[in-house]
Every structure is written in structure tokens, then in C-alpha cells.
Amino acid sequence: MSTKKHKAGFATRAIHVGQEPDPSTGAVAPAIFATSTYVQEEIGKHKGYEYARVSNPTRTRLEENLAALEGGVAAKVFSSGMAAINAIVTTLKAGDHVVCGHNLYGGTPRLFNQLWADFGLEFTYVDTSDVQNVERALTRKTRMTFIETPTNPLMALTDIRAVSGVCRARKIDVVVDNTFMSPYFQQPIALGADLVVHSTTKFLNGHSDGLGGVVVCTRAEQADKLAFLQKAAGAILSPFECWLILRGVKTLAVRMEKHDESGRVVAEFLAGHKKVRKVFYPGLPDHPQHDLARRQMTGFGAMISFETGSLSNANKMLRKVRVCSLGESLGGVETLISHPATMTHAAVGAKGRKEIGITDGMVRISVGNEDVEDIVDDLDQALSSI
Ligand SMILES: Cc1ncc(COP(=O)(O)O)c(C=O)c1O
């Protein structure tokens, strides 16, 4: 199946694009091409592969697959989500300005502020849930708007279509980090985004067993620049990790359905629990952007944050969980529970967290694919310790 045939349904594309049987053996699963180089017949005569930093057949398959899932023209994979985001930034030049969401995954502003700001790039952070804030922040030097929706961990949404409309009129690229929703529940390119980035470490891989990142492009010249970066800077994804993602995406549709079904149950349980002060989940009707969530996403997903009231309360409950695993990351088949203030958003600093509303009592859960009754029972017994 070619990446051009986007007509097939999502699950069919996930299972078949780039996943064709091996032509030489008929093997149903793609091969892992563990090779650093490729033999050439004569100078300059080869089968399209010269050196593994530049390209690898297992990687090619994954890039075709992910481009088809996001509806892009091409995709380029990198050694981690941060390497993918870094690759996007390196397409900018000193003096360029980027408007960013004020509640991005903590590692993203760390990269922007502690590394790229020293090379003459300028970053402005605004609450992108109001498109007017984006519009006001744009300057003559703005080249890119970088958003995450829903945000991590506050689960605030940005209207991708509205932001893309404002930016397109000024020829500013919109980049959407789609890690939380996966292409199964949110299709930023169809809503007007120019680039989509993922930490494939999360839902795309789905099994908490490999780091990776991808940038999905809407224009051939973006893909050419990123291919050049793979070659020139070398932060490529190994063939084995490409294969893990190719295997993981085969079940993306069914995993996401289950994540969503269980996510709704867990969010309702938490919202009705007397020890929980607030729940952040776009699927709850009292979420301030519930209507936008219904329009922009086809499911609400697995990510929920909730307020326990204090660091001590959060720690008391997190010490007690048994089915849920306390740790950083998200998007695996196992339920992962984390403490944003000391984990994902430690780098933002206490002042930064206060400004955006991340408290010490906030806990984030990535609802896994276990039996949902077991997840709920586990949370119930853990919360009873508060
Ligand atoms: C939304 C989001 N984007 C990017 C990243 C960075 O990805 P990686 O850890 O694969 O470098 C993360 C990691 O947690 C994330 O949650």
C-alpha cells in the first residue's frame, strides 16, 4: 500500500502502510536492517541506500507509515521526541521569533530557553487557548508558532484551526505536538497545521520500551531539510527502535479506543471522589473547552490530571499505588502515574509552575489498558490514605 493512498481507514493504514510483507522472503513482519552501510555495484551505483545515518529500510517503512497516519507528505524520525523538536528548531535562523504555548512539556521550554536562546532565537510564551493571545504575540520576526493541545498536565486546549488561520495569513508555520492525542484522536494537518511532532516514546510505540520522535511534514522542502538534518546532525532512530514503533502502531487504533473508554471511567470516578479537589480532563462536560474537544478531537484519550491538595497528599497516595506505576512518561499499555511538579515540569521552576497553575498537589495519570475496575480500585485505595 502506498502512502499516497490515504483513502483506507486509520487502522488499515496503521497495519499496512510501510508494513508490506518482505519482498524477498514473504515475512509478514518488516525486517530490522541492522547494518551501518550498503554494498555498491560500482561508484555511485546502489539500491538507494548508502550509509545508515542517511537512510535505512526499516526507518523508511516507519516514516511512510507515520506520514500516512498523520496525513502528511513525509515524516522523519529522530532518536527521541526532544531530538525531533530540536530538529524543527534548527530549521530557524538567529533573529527568528517563535510564539509558544505557555504550558508545554517541560523539556521543550528547557531546550528553547537554555540552549537556543543563546544562539539568537527568541521565544514568547502565551496562553494559546485564546487565539487572540497568539495574534498579539506575533511580530515581524515570528516564523513559527509551537503548540501542544491538550497541554501537559493542565489539559487546556488550543483551537488548531483558529491558530492556523491567523498564522497562515502571515506565512508563519504552525507546529503541533500531538503526543497526547496520537493521530488516532487528533489530526492537526487536517485542521491547518504545517508540521506535527510526536514523542513516539508514548502512544505510537505504546509499550514503554523505546524512545523516539517524529516530525510529519506537509511540504516536500520541510522533509528535505529534516532529511539533511538526519544526515548532518545524526540524531537518527535505530532500526530496532523503528521496528518497535512499526509493531506498536499496528495496535494503535485498538489501544486508543481502550485508553479512551477507560479514561472516561477513571475521570468520572476521580470527579466524584471526595479526596479529589479538581479533575482536568477534556471529556468531562464541565471542562471549560469541552465543546472544542468534541469538535477538534474524535476521542478524549487517556490523560487526566487531578488535584490532591498538597505535596504531602500527592506523595501519600503515590506511595500506595500498586496497579498504577509511579514514573515519568505516558502512553503505555500500563497505567503510569506521575507528579508533574517534581518530574515532567521540574525544569520549569517553582515560579514558572505557579504562573501557569501547576501545583505541588497535582497528579497526572496516563490510563493504561488494564481492566478499568482494577485501575479504579487501585486509585480508590491509594486516595484513602490522604
Ligand atoms: C508532549 C511531549 N512532547 C515531547 C516529549 C519529549 O519526548 P522524549 O521523551 O521522547 O524525548 C514528551 C516527553 O514526555 C512529551 O510528553
CA 244 to chain centre: 17
* 202 tagged catalytic: yes
Pick from 214, 220, 175, 229: nearest CA to 78: 214
Q: What is the mean pLDDT of residues 66-77?
A: 98
Residue 273's pLDDT band (cuts 50, 70, 90): very high
| The three cell numbers locating residue 314 | 500527592
Question: What is the rounded distance in angstroms from the CA atom of residue 176 to the CA atom of residue 190?
Answer: 12
- Ligand 1 atom closest to the Cα of residue 212 is 10
Long-range Cβ contacts of 3-10 (<8 Å, 24+ apart)? 3/64, 3/67, 3/68, 6/68, 6/71, 10/69, 10/183, 10/184, 10/253
Q: Kindly report the protein residue whose alpha carbon is nearest to atom 2 of ligand 1.
A: 105
| Per-residue pLDDT tens over the stretch 242-262 | 999 999 999 999 999 999 999
> Which atom of ligand 1 is least distant from the CA of 148?
1
pLDDT in tens, 300-355: 999 999 999 999 999 999 999 999 999 999 999 999 999 999 998 998 899 999 99
pLDDT for 218: 98
**CB of 146 shorter than 6 A to ligand 1:** no
Evaluate if pTM is beyond 0.85. yes
- Estimate the crossing angle of helix 372-383 against helix 252-271, to 10 degrees: 30
Average pLDDT over residues 262-273: 98
Q: Which three cell numbers stand for residue 187?
A: 489530526
Tell me how far apart the alpha carbons of residues 344 and 207 are, in angstroms, rounded to a whole number: 19
Q: How far apart are the two ends of the chain, measured CA to CA in Å?
A: 54
